[in-house]
Structure 1
């Protein structure tokens, strides 16, 4: 790309930079004849000149900010189409890695290397000549020569865009090469979210903790998510582009990484390598996995995987790459625990003592299977089953207790199941099929307590609705906007840090989930001047539209505002917080039912009323919110009571009233 080529943006980019919804951009184009015309793209997805859009927005008094990282990203998206975007991200990654490894040389020679002379790129005919003024400046090829030696493939560094490299080097100076590359990788994953399967951050963190230290291998590593915490990472990835991205991410962290590109099942690029742990999030339901070619493969120690069960091929591939006694943590589709074609292999894994735990991560899966490669010891007689759902914190304590003593009594939704009881005609490992049978006294206590809580919560519901007067004609009230309230000093808007310094610590953190559910702070972090501390009467909103007035008990706990939350602090002498919260929630509800994709809070309209009248409205809003909380609590209690009722009738702990005997 020539340096003079315009950086382009689409309507979504403009909306993101201007902090408005896409509908607002469409309105600008329709209502303003002087809005910049498209310079590329298609009729349904036009592209605009970033410089022209910036000038128009600022000329019309609209806020428009493009960070240095976004400027780099937009220039990259202008340089190539989305199909080749990963290649360019990889090339930029190699460049950042060269900066990371030799920053002193870069500081000395960088201005000349980035002088705009195309000869900084390797010439197709090997022309390495340069002007006398650049006699001491290394070429880009020289800067990355050592870098490419340990990458899965050396990228073809051909694009002629010194301006891009100047922007990248600035981004690396300001944020560091690692953070700069992580930003670009995140943008790449966002653009290709439908093609790339990335392991959930919390699940990846759990699997990394379970693996412990040492060498960790991932045979389907994608963009490297499961290897980022490894001391000695090894990986293979089918896509050459993604293998390169993984290698750069790991090498920028200083890890002695070995990443190869290729099909792990058909062409094992790490054959013979044994790791201390193997982590894997394999592709699900991939029928063309090599069944016909791999029939006699030595990895199928527990049986030839059926053509329809590729995940069981990945399980055995992982076991072949872990040391005796080493851990395999692999994500599996929930159906793999019970599908009939795989029962023989599931049974063999249990008999050999290889499969140690099946952990459900929520309805519909995936499940997490934990295995150990047998090391000659006596096979265990129990297997661990955990219904973790969304609460992954229960997994590690249950796993530690089970590995320390397989006969130990477990609590909550964790239990051990005798392997002999599973080796029937189905070998069904679905955790829901093996809930622990409670004793009669325990069940009676739990059922009675659930029934009492449900009745108590239900009894409060008829008293909940506030008294509201129905008007025959709509009441018209004078209004203002939240933006005007901010200008008048009645409201202060504070946003939480995008990321906390630590995920645990002595400072309570109000999370987005807490705010949505109305529960006490469940997070934690360490003291930090950047934290936003919530106070009584503060209004907290989430990106998904939940609006809540902070209770005194939360404020007294000294809670900090968690990521993805925004706080609105009012002057209580002039503005009632419940009044404002009610109208903010109503504005967001209207957005949900309209074509707008985002609420511009500053434009939300609020009636202009005396404080006394505000408080009357505020009390009604508060009672409606309290009613909603009680309904939510009652529904949850009802679900528990219903589950216990079904289980009790089915297993003989309950019977219908009036039955004799």
Structure 2
């Protein structure tokens, strides 16, 4: 009988299993002759046997306090194939749902991990173990599988339930039928399991389908474990299939539809579906697959039912879709568009939109509602809403629930009224616009175009901005006085200098070049993530936009000097915030405080003359060779004298840049107010 192949683990995975940092594992490997030899990988990214590592950690008392589930994932990941691993996880869920201990349904290499996971699930909680494996699997294949973040899924479920109208023949105890025609891993349906009983005190009957049979298998077992068999509705019906081309749930009618459809998909069946009966509002052009999904969702709704879809921002304005948008407005099918801040869901660089739709019930006026609701949450939360920034994320959800929820509860025959916005205290970021005003040649439903002109409530914001301007000007006066007092000599005597490379070789500093993590980051409660700064963030004038685990990456600590090695964004500064990871072409310099002052080093390095000297023009994108940057050789006390001057100069530049940003924002807001004719009589007498 042949033994099963060894399960490989990396240094980062060993660190996670042991509950320590990657550097500690590297030290163990270097200092202990008994550390297991590598079984594969490369010299820079070696692989080790999981069995050997577990034995070594136990024998040496370094196993740590990691949970048993941490040891599961490497065994599933070793299965290699995405589909095989996903189906093995689905088998675990199926066994747990049935209360079985046998690994039946999985054979070969997957049988052992499946049995181990099922046994652990019965001890630690079936749903928790399934979700642990599912999240790890989704994070490993994050570029192949798009998911809806759980907070956003909860928000979409709430909005859809609030937008429902009266349903003909509805019994108060009937289950609410919820459909997701592109269910993926089931995030939206899982949100409905929680939202329906909470909001309506009724069970949910779940329907879903997806083209990927692995995802439908995972969704099926996820929902089976999530639902309470005593209080929940009927068993979920999850079927594999293409909802647009060959809907496996073609006869289903739902009370609520939630959907995050595939975006920018050209091969969606345009030729085959040209005469489809679902295209009540017009045949979707080949370039408008999202509008095909919108009409599909409406076709699957019962009269009075509602739908919420997550769509790219281009769908509200593309010329090819204006005829369909016009019909959606005229018939009252489309009720609201909500602009989300970038970072709310993938792709994280875009401000995605929520579309709130409702199929008019019999007896409702077939005419369009009087007003259409726009919510510009992207303007209310101008910074990216990171997936990990809990307080801001919760505030975003509360804001949208307040605006759309108030409007939905005040809806009378489908009319969204301005009073709802006033009651939600969101008049500066929401607008109820008469539908007739939207039916122009473009039918552009971009929230920012309509909210800005409709609100006119920026008085308190401007007052705060003027106060901020006063503080910035006072700071500039202080710093400018310090800088103006500096006396500059004209002496041109040669002073010795050293390059960064020479200082590194002498041990005065250590130079580390940033890079992206080699492996996809996976959630790990025992290891906090750190923000990741990349060149793209600097080019977009943004703060760090990504989050990574501090394994296999370069992390800068307070008092480290950060140097950007790209000519057009060349800069150097002393990092003063919490730990932060840096990506490619960004370098971290850690100085020996007995030899170098970090402020003196940063101020010297970012000199424009220094950049010209160290620049390389070997390609179209000019870069800076950080090792060639020069620093004058002076003693530490003299460095500190220059350090104070560099500090004041940096503060002066920072205040000036902040003032520029505030002035630009004020110019936009004040310009809108003046252009709208809101200047009170007698308040302006001229110069």
TM band (smaller chain): 0.5 to 0.7
SS in 1 for 2:258: strand
Query: Hey, what does 1:458 align to over in structure 2?
Result: 473
Query: Hey, what does 1:198 align to over in structure 2?
Result: 147
SS in 2 for 1:193: coil
The answer to whether 1:208 aligns with 2:208 is no
| Closer/same/farther in 2, CA of residues 651 and 176 from structure 1, 3 Å limit | same
| Closer/same/farther in 2, CA of residues 443 and 81 from structure 1, 3 Å limit | closer
**C-alpha distance in structure 1 between counterparts of 2:219 and 2:649, whole Å:** 50
Query: Hey, what does 2:84 align to over in structure 1?
Result: 84
Q: Which of 120, 127, 139 is the aligned partner of 1:171?
A: 120
Say if 1:12 and 1:22, in contact at 8 Å, map to a contact too.
Answer: yes
| Closer/same/farther in 2, CA of residues 400 and 75 from structure 1, 3 Å limit | closer
**C-alpha distance in structure 2 between counterparts of 1:78 and 1:593, whole Å:** 28
The answer to whether 1:425 aligns with 2:450 is no
Say if 2:532 and 2:580, in contact at 8 Å, map to a contact too.
Answer: no
Q: Which of 250, 253, 263 is the aligned partner of 2:226?
A: 253
Q: Which of 390, 404, 415 is the aligned partner of 2:431?
A: 415
How far did 1:589 drift? 5.9
**C-alpha distance in structure 2 between counterparts of 1:45 and 1:454, whole Å:** 51
Query: Hey, what does 1:365 align to over in structure 2?
Result: 351
The answer to whether 1:334 aligns with 2:313 is yes
TM-score (structure 2 length as normaliser): 0.62
Query: Hey, what does 2:451 align to over in structure 1?
Result: 435
SS in 2 for 1:369: strand
Query: Hey, what does 1:71 align to over in structure 2?
Result: 71
More displaced 10-residue stretch of structure 1: 336-345 or 25-34: 25-34
Query: Hey, what does 1:393 align to over in structure 2?
Result: 398
**C-alpha distance in structure 1 between counterparts of 2:245 and 2:479, whole Å:** 64
Query: Hey, what does 1:234 align to over in structure 2?
Result: 207
Which runs of structure 2 are paired with 1:16-35 in the superposition (5 Å)? 16-18=16-18
Q: Which of 185, 188, 197 is the aligned partner of 2:137?
A: 188
Q: Which of 273, 281, 284 is the aligned partner of 1:302?
A: 281
**C-alpha distance in structure 1 between counterparts of 2:592 and 2:58, whole Å:** 25
How far did 1:645 drift? 3.9
TM-score (structure 1 length as normaliser): 0.65
Coordinate RMSD, CA, aligned: 5.0
**C-alpha distance in structure 2 between counterparts of 1:168 and 1:264, whole Å:** 33
The answer to whether 1:222 aligns with 2:175 is no
Deviations 1:108-160 (A, max 9, x none): xx5xx5xxxxxxxxxxxxxxxxxxxxxxxxxx65xxxxxxxxxxxxxx53336
| Closer/same/farther in 2, CA of residues 439 and 380 from structure 1, 3 Å limit | closer
| Closer/same/farther in 2, CA of residues 181 and 221 from structure 1, 3 Å limit | same
Deviations 1:579-621 (A, max 9, x none): x98799659668648999999xxx99999xxxxxxxxxxxx9x
How far did 1:207 drift? 0.6
Structure 2 alignment gaps of length 5 or more = 162-174, 194-203, 229-234, 343-349, 382-395, 422-426, 487-495, 499-522, 534-546, 551-556, 561-573, 595-644
**C-alpha distance in structure 1 between counterparts of 2:25 and 2:241, whole Å:** 43
How far did 1:172 drift? 1.1
Deviations 1:384-408 (A, max 9, x none): 0001124232212222332315233
Query: Hey, what does 2:505 align to over in structure 1?
Result: none
SS in 2 for 1:437: helix
Deviations 1:452-489 (A, max 9, x none): 442334323544799999xx999xxxxxxxxxxxxxxx
Say if 2:482 and 2:648, in contact at 8 Å, map to a contact too.
Answer: no
| Closer/same/farther in 2, CA of residues 306 and 176 from structure 1, 3 Å limit | same
Query: Hey, what does 1:642 align to over in structure 2?
Result: 667
Deviations 1:295-331 (A, max 9, x none): 1111111110000000000001111111111111001
SS in 2 for 1:311: helix
Query: Hey, what does 1:520 align to over in structure 2?
Result: none
Say if 1:28 and 1:35, in contact at 8 Å, map to a contact too.
Answer: yes
How far did 1:5 drift? 3.8
**C-alpha distance in structure 2 between counterparts of 1:565 and 1:42, whole Å:** 21
Say if 2:259 and 2:309, in contact at 8 Å, map to a contact too.
Answer: yes
How far did 1:10 drift? 2.5
Structure 1 alignment gaps of length 5 or more = 114-139, 142-155, 475-496, 500-540, 547-562, 567-579, 608-619
More displaced 10-residue stretch of structure 1: 265-274 or 352-361: 265-274
How far did 1:543 drift? 3.0
